[in-house]
Amino acid sequence: MSEKNYAIFQTGGKQYCAVENNVCTIDKLEGNPGDKIEFTNVVLSVSSGKGDLGAPYVKNAKVVAEIVDQVKGPKINAFNYKAKKNQRKKWGHRQDLTKVKIVELVGNK
């Protein structure tokens, strides 16, 4: 079994797993493709089978990522109607998302 280094970080009220060179899709962040971003809210850091659990965050740990693209998520359709009243309403929504590539896990050695 190979030992993997990874970290769980928090952004936008959600938690994501970060492994070096992986691409994650997260909620929209301001920035252009090629910009570097640092996530300092690291909840869990695992290296060589040993983990550091934060209370609430791991000290001196951060995830460095690079913005790959700004995209939109899948279309979500919703429909309301009231029976026998001829009232119908349809609407849709597409969430703005950011694709980031994990460059480095700092403080995870």
Position 108 confidence tier, pLDDT thresholds 50, 70, 90: low
Write the pLDDT tens digit of every residue in 16-50. 999 999 999 999 999 999 999 999 999 999 987 78
The two structure tokens encoding residue 35: 């910009």
Contact status, residue 14 vs residue 27, Cβ threshold 8 Å:
yes
- Could you state, in order of their start, the residue ranges of all structural domains in the chain? 6-106
What DSSP letter does each residue of 4-44 carry, written as one string?
--EEEEEETTEEEEE-TT-EEEEE--S--TT-EEEE--EEE
Write the pLDDT tens digit of every residue in 47-78. 877 888 888 899 989 999 999 999 999 999 99
DSSP summary character for residue 3: -
Distance CA 10, CA 103 (A): 16
- pTM as predicted: 0.81
Distance CA 104, CA 70 (A): 21
Contact status, residue 17 vs residue 4, Cβ threshold 8 Å:
no
